[in-house]
Amino acid sequence: MPYKERSIEKLYYSIGEVSEMLGVPVSTVRFWENEFDVLKPMKNKKGNRMFTPDDIRSLKIIHRLLKEEGMTLQGAKKKLAGKWEETDYKYEITESLQKVRNLLMDLRDNI
pTM tops 0.85, yes or no:
no
The 10s digit of each residue's pLDDT in 19-36 is 998 999 999 999 999 998
| β partners of residue 14 | 50
Pairing outcome for strands 42-43 and 49-51? antiparallel
Distance, in Å, from the CA atom of 61 to the CA atom of 90, rounded to the nearest integer, reads: 9
Which residue stretches of 5-111 are H helix?
A: 15-22, 26-35, 53-63, 73-82, 84-110
The 10s digit of each residue's pLDDT in 50-75 is 999 889 988 988 998 888 888 888 88
User: In CATH, which of 3.40.50.300, 3.20.20.70, 1.10.1660.10, 2.60.40.730 is domain 13-82?
Assistant: 1.10.1660.10
Instruction: Report the candidate in 36, 90, 53 with the shortest Cα–Cα distance to residue 68.
Output: 90
